[in-house]
A and B are shown apart, each in its own frame.
Chain A
Amino acid sequence: GAVVSQHPSWVICKSGTSVKIECRSLDFQATTMFWYRQFPKQSLMLMATSNEGSKATYEQGVEKDKFLINHASLTLSTLTVTSAHPEDSSFYICSARGGTLTEAFFGQGTRLTVV
């Protein structure tokens, strides 16, 4: 299947700092990227959907000023968690689809711990 690379795989940061997570499609052009958050023992929750060159569409309850999403190219989307707090600690996963692909392929996920 197609390859999506997410970086970093884990990060620990201090409360109040910002963290950027990158999601790259390596062998296809990702016209749409999705960002999910998963708390322990819970399902993936869609945070936002971004189309290349457009503003992201955020799901209800997700603060767009706190979770900044940029999808400036067909192979890269970034999620920046601004002024992170301990309650933002979670597993963040991106997925991408594009071209003739109907299914989504996932990055490896980023485990964020805010201390």
Chain B
Amino acid sequence: RKEVEQDPGPFNVPEGATVAFNCTYSNSASQSFFWYRQDCRKEPKLLMSVYSSGNEDGRFTAQLNRASQYISLLIRDSKLSDSATYLCVVISYNFNKFYFGSGTKLNVKP
């Protein structure tokens, strides 16, 4: 079983739509969680951390459900510039391994 699993998509949505991605992880001892964004042929860049209490940054909301072992990312009022691949990242217990999901591709269309 993969450490981290994501629906690869693509999610094709119109501008202004709300879209949500989920990501499940297998190791219940995982410590920290992040969402990264990767544009085509570029390196991943940190989008936001995911806290147990949930956190929001503008149009983006991230949540963690430890009981069900998944994290989610909600994007409201989608913009064309949000088109990218979104990767969830889980850090292992000893804080020394980052595991990436396969990424969820988002296409925001005019």
Contact = CB atoms under 8 A, between A and B. Distances in A.
A46 interface: yes
B32 A109 contact: no
A108 B101 contact: no
A34 interface: yes
Contacts of B103: 43
Given A103-B46, A106-B44, A106-B45, A44 B87 contact: yes
A93 B34 contact: no
B93 interface: no
Interface residues of A, number: 22
Given A43-B102, A46-B97, A51-B96, A109 B87 contact: no
Given A43-B87, A43-B103, A44-B87, A104 B43 contact: no
A1 B101 CA distance: 22
A43 B101 contact: yes
Interface string B38-72: 00011111100100000000000000000000000
Interface residues of B, number: 20
16 contacts: A32-B96, A34-B98, A42-B102, A43-B100, A43-B102, A44-B87, A93-B43, A102-B32, A103-B34, A104-B89, A104-B98, A105-B46, A106-B43, A106-B44, A108-B42, A108-B43
Nearest to A108: B43
Contacts of B34: 103
Contacts of B44: 44, 93, 106
A109 B89 CA distance: 18
A38 B42 CA distance: 11
